């Protein structure tokens, strides 16, 4: 009997070991809010990775540029969407980050995003100076758009606390909630750092009608000087029907980061699959057409993951 028990235990152990060996590695992606470009693109990329790379199961959940860096660093996700400037600040412990986030690695540089600011078409607000007592929605607290808003307002000599002291409000809510608030006249200003055209702004153009606020050269120059990771941006005439002439704004480069703890071989396979399916991702969002392999390491101010570095070396991409 003891012999049978020993054999049974051994067999169970072998079976359990085999099951553990065959279990997929779970790779979690954090992208962006629904209504933006990151979330649907993240969903498709996750699906492609699951379909093409053996031994992994992927997921995609919403997030924000700052919170995604925190999630990847803390081991709550393996892949995150962010911005080159945000990733550098996180890695270095600067800006909105209270401490360094040393566990993030560069995976790919994607496309530029523009900081877009809109008011109702009938609003008396003509510039950022007029927002000192306004009701604004700059995005959630750990979204990069909020950091953009703070940088711009600082150039004008005030901040969120000043808005509140002057009777205004600051709503840290999602794109969808911001649209509802503006339609109901609960906010005067809606801000977002995202690709163009963006669904929430298109919806507001339809109803109630909006007008975009740009940045004059002197303020733009000051902000760029104080925030070297930002880039000059432009909302070209016609990108939204309410933009009749080119409007200057701030821009930033979107990127993807991965955990340093992901195996080199897995990240290498992810990188190969990522670029092989470029046309597939372009079908999800047209902005993907501006993503170029030769730019994959542009603006990479944090270490590149060794698996991605091997992939890019083979593909002839240089930093």
SS3 content of the chain, % helix, strand, coil (to 5): 45, 20, 35
Question: Would you say 274 and 79 are in contact if contact means Cβ atoms under 8 Å apart?
Answer: no
Structure confidence at residue 285 (pLDDT): 92
pTM (two decimals) = 0.76
Structure confidence at residue 5 (pLDDT): 39
Low-confidence ranges of the chain (pLDDT < 70): 1-23
- Classify 85 as helix, strand or coil: helix
The residue written with tokens 């909020």 in the block is 146
Q: Report whether the peptide linkage leading into residue 208 is cis, meaning its omega lies within 30 degrees of zero.
A: yes
Question: Would you say 194 and 41 are in contact if contact means Cβ atoms under 8 Å apart?
Answer: no
Write down all domains in the chain, each with its CATH number in brackets: 23-110+254-315 (3.40.190.10), 114-252 (3.40.190.10)
Percent of the chain with pLDDT over 90: 81
* Span 5-33, pLDDT tens digits: 333 333 334 434 434 344 689 999 999 98
Structure confidence at residue 4 (pLDDT): 41
How far is residue 196 from each of residues 18, 114, 190, 253, measured CA to CA in Å?
49, 7, 15, 13
Structure confidence at residue 44 (pLDDT): 98
- Classify 319 as helix, strand or coil: coil
Listed residue (171, 178, 172, 227) closest to 204, CA to CA: 178
Structure confidence at residue 23 (pLDDT): 60
Structure confidence at residue 18 (pLDDT): 39
């Amino acid at each position: 009997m003891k012999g049978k028990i020993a054999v049974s235990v051994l067999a169970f152990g072998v079976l359990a070991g085999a099951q553990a060996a065959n279990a997929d590695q779970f790779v979690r992606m954090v992208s962006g809010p629904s209504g933006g470009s990151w979330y649907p693109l993240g969903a498709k990329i996750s699906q492609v990775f699951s379909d093409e790379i053996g031994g992994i199961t992927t997921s995609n959940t919403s997030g924000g540029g700052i919170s995604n860096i925190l999630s990847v660093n803390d081991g709550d996700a393996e892949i995150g969407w962010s911005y080159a400037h945000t990733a550098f600040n996180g890695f270095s412990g600067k800006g909105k980050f209270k401490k360094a986030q040393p566990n993030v690695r560069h995976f790919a540089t994607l496309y530029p995003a523009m900081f877009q600011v809109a008011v109702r078409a009938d609003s008396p607000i003509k510039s950022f100076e007029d927002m000192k007592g306004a009701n604004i929605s700059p995005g959630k607290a750990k979204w990069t758009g909020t950091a953009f808003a703070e940088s711009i307002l600082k150039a004008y000599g005030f901040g969120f606390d000043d808005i509140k002291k002057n009777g205004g409000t600051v709503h840290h809510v999602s794109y969808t909630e911001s649209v509802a608030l503006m339609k109901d006249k609960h906010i005067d200003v809606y801000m977002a750092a995202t690709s163009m055209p963006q669904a929430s702004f298109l919806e507001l153009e339809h109803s109630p009608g909006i007008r975009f606020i740009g940045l004059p050269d002197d303020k733009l120059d000051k902000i760029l000087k104080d925030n070297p990771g930002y880039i000059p941006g432009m909302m070209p005439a016609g990108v939204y029907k309410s933009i009749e002439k080119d409007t200057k704004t701030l821009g930033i480069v979107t990127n993807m980061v991965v955990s340093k703890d992901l195996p080199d071989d897995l990240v290498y396979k992810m990188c190969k699959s990522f670029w092989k399916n470029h046309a597939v991702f372009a079908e999800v969002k047209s902005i993907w057409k501006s993503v170029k392999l030769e730019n994959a390491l542009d603006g990479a101010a944090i270490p590149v993951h060794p698996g991605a570095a091997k992939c890019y070396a083979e593909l002839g991409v240089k930093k």
